[in-house]
Amino acid sequence: MTIDPRSVTGKRLEIAHHIQVLVIGAGPAGISAARRAHQGGADVMLVDENPVPFDVMGESVPQIWGGRMGGQVRNRNAMTERMLEARPDLVELFELGVDVRLGTACWGLFSNQPNLGWMPGLVAGLIDDEQGSYHVRADQIIVATGRRDMGLAFPGWDLPGVLGASAAATLAGLYGAFDGKRAVILGSGPEALLAAQDLMAAGVQITAVVEQAASPLAPQLAAGLQAHGVEIICGQAPRGVNSDAGGVTGLILRDRQIDCDSVLLGVGAVPMIDLLQAAGARCGFDNDRSGFVPTLDKGLQTTLAGIRAAGDCAGIWAAKSADPALARSEGEAAANAALAAIGLSKHAPADLATPPHAPDMGRYRKDWVRATVVEALAEMPVCQCEEVTAREILEVRPPRYLKMPPVANETRSLTQILGDGPPDPDQVKRLTRAGMGPCQGRRCREQIQALLALQEDLALGAVPLAGYRSPVRPMTLTAATAPEDPAIAEIWDSWFGMPRQWVPFWDVEPKYTVAALATEKEHVSE
């Protein structure tokens, strides 16, 4: 068979390790998955991006850290030790001989599928401080990447001190490095209030819970907090912040101000599906699982064979947030299915807890965005990286740096602007740049979804997901440079390297045949 020398056919992907089971994320689900897979006899690697390098945290990756990382976060060794203290079950895995890699981020998963066929199997791109980027191959991959917080714009939300509720809980709990003392939390759902509890246990004072709805979403948890002196303020949304050089010093509501050094975004806990969706796994909107989640079978397998999801990235609901045992059992179930798939055990798929029917989460998120973003009294960026406001998003305005006169979209509906079909956040992103920056849309994605749904009066889930692309963690060009098959360098061309593509039109044969290629013409590269 002839091989096109300049195609990937026959090129080797440099693989640093080949393991049986790769687990990504060392939270309750990931740790349980790794333990179970190891016990089942598999050769296991467990990676976790924490401790995240300080400069990467500065880009709001993978959480909205809001500049409240304590200085000790710069000391990576201390952070690693601290992490192990916080997660004794991780130490146990180390001792069992599992290849545990902390400070190692997975930036991409690759699996053969329509339009891609040259992967040698399931491949994960990993990166750490010492080695930079490298590839590992795994027979089974369990993604347990957890959750992140939905961003919510209000004037001042780009200042240090506005951070995600789960981000704050991670800083306080895992890193022991939360640089805040008095916090107000926005949102009163179970995820927000459980984070508030954790923070209080870690010594952070939670002054108030602010909720735009008329009553708290999780009344029992709210009552519990109230008993501990937390004020529950309903029917209010942030209007701005007070600040000094160190960031937030207070939160401004309609008719009052609250002293605080941190405002915690707790209006939505979002399954962290970036790796899965970028890999090509099908994801759909599920109200009861808190947003877009991967479509899974009984063995928690995504639509990509051998890639499974467990824990929060497979769906978040109140009972699961309250009790890590649910995530653990998902991790174990995924590991059992992985073991079965590689012939190491025979387990019937477990019956896993499924979420009860939840109140309309889409409506709740839209209400928050209306009360806070749409009704804001000043213009502020919804996309912080590219500084795009809600108005600019909804009018699909060309970015400011083009210095163009307005495109007369003020009076048009989004359908008139974007064409038939539900407004597509990717199309909006391409035209306004909202979501295109270094934080990779982590801070604005769900807000933009809600804004578009509000504007067109659609259910939240009717607005398509803005796609994720690898690398789902930003990395420098130097670090991104991974080992490469020398055969790739030998045939490298800027385009396809076809023998006749760039021959000037006055010099090509009147009839094209493959046989005629025997006569060489000077190859021009694009």
Partner 1 sequence: MSANKGASVVVIGGGVTGLSTAFWLAEAGVDVLVLERGIVGWEASGRNGGGCSHHHSPLFAEEQRLWPMMDQLLGYPTEFVPNRIRIALSPDQYTLYGRAVVNARKQGFHADELDPQQVRDLVPLAGDNVFAGHYYHFGGHANPHRTVQAYAWAIRDRGGRVKQHVTVTGFQRAGDRVTAVETDQGSFGCDHLVIAAGPQTSRLAALLEVDIPMRAARAEMIVTEPLPLMPLGGIDGNGLYGRQTLRGNLAYGGGPHEWVETEDLPGGPRPSTPLSGSIAKRLAQLLPKAAHARVIRSWGGIIENTPDGRPVLDRPAPWANLTAGSLSGVGFGLSPASGRALAQLVTDGACDFADLSSLRLDRFSQLEPNWAELQGWLPGGLATV
Q: Does the protein bind partner 1 through residue 486 (CB under 8 A)?
A: no
Q: How many CB atoms lie within 10 A of CB 312?
A: 32
Stretch that binds partner 1, among 164-172, 208-216, 310-318, 474-482 (CB under 8 A): 474-482
| Closer by beta carbon to partner 1, 348 or else 514 | 514
Q: Does the protein bind partner 1 through residue 348 (CB under 8 A)?
A: no
Residues 206-245 that bind partner 1 (CB under 8 A): none
| Closer by beta carbon to partner 1, 87 or else 429 | 429
Q: Does the protein bind partner 1 through residue 135 (CB under 8 A)?
A: yes
Q: Does the protein bind partner 1 through residue 470 (CB under 8 A)?
A: yes
Length in residues, the chain: 526
- Label residue 242 left, alpha or beta by phi (over 0 means left) and psi (-120 to 50 means alpha): beta
Residues 266-295 that bind partner 1 (CB under 8 A): 279-280
Q: Does the protein bind partner 1 through residue 407 (CB under 8 A)?
A: yes
Q: Does the protein bind partner 1 through residue 515 (CB under 8 A)?
A: yes
Rounded distance, CA 471 to CA 63, Å?
16
CA distance readout (Å), 312 to 32, 197, 240, 316, 320: 13, 19, 31, 5, 8
Size of interface with partner 1, in residues (CB under 8 A): 92
| Residue type (1 letter), 254 | R
DSSP 144-166: ---EEEPP---TTTTSTTEEEHH
| Closer by beta carbon to partner 1, 224 or else 398 | 398
Q: Minimum distance from CB of 14 to partner 1 (Å)? A: 9
Q: Does the protein bind partner 1 through residue 41 (CB under 8 A)?
A: no
Q: Does the protein bind partner 1 through residue 253 (CB under 8 A)?
A: no
Q: 208 in helix, strand or coil?
A: strand
Q: Does the protein bind partner 1 through residue 120 (CB under 8 A)?
A: yes
Burial of 525 (0-12, 13-18, 19+ CB in 10 A): exposed
Q: 496 in helix, strand or coil?
A: coil
Rounded distance, CA 24 to CA 282, Å?
19
H helices within 206-259, ranges in order? Answer: 219-227
| Closer by beta carbon to partner 1, 248 or else 281 | 281
Residues 78-117 that bind partner 1 (CB under 8 A): 108, 110, 112-117
Strand segments (E) across 216-298: 231-234, 240-244, 247-252, 257-259, 262-265, 269-271, 283-286, 291-294
Q: Does the protein bind partner 1 through residue 305 (CB under 8 A)?
A: no
Burial of 191 (0-12, 13-18, 19+ CB in 10 A): buried
Chain centroid to Cα 192, Å, comes to: 18
Q: Which of 173, 324, 355, 474 binds partner 1 (CB under 8 A)?
A: 474
Q: Minimum distance from CB of 77 to partner 1 (Å)? A: 24
Q: Does the protein bind partner 1 through residue 493 (CB under 8 A)?
A: yes
| Closer by beta carbon to partner 1, 120 or else 359 | 120
| Closer by beta carbon to partner 1, 11 or else 76 | 11
Q: Minimum distance from CB of 56 to partner 1 (Å)? A: 9
Q: Does the protein bind partner 1 through residue 478 (CB under 8 A)?
A: yes
| Closer by beta carbon to partner 1, 255 or else 526 | 526
Q: 20 in helix, strand or coil?
A: strand
- Residues 69, 72, 77, 83: is their CA dihedral positive or negative? negative
Q: Which of 130, 457, 520, 522 binds partner 1 (CB under 8 A)?
A: 522
Q: Does the protein bind partner 1 through residue 16 (CB under 8 A)?
A: no
| Closer by beta carbon to partner 1, 330 or else 386 | 386
Q: Minimum distance from CB of 328 to partner 1 (Å)? A: 31
Q: Does the protein bind partner 1 through residue 481 (CB under 8 A)?
A: yes
Q: Which of 3, 214, 348, 518 binds partner 1 (CB under 8 A)?
A: 3
Residues 6 or more apart whose CB falls under 8 angstroms from that of 201 comprise none
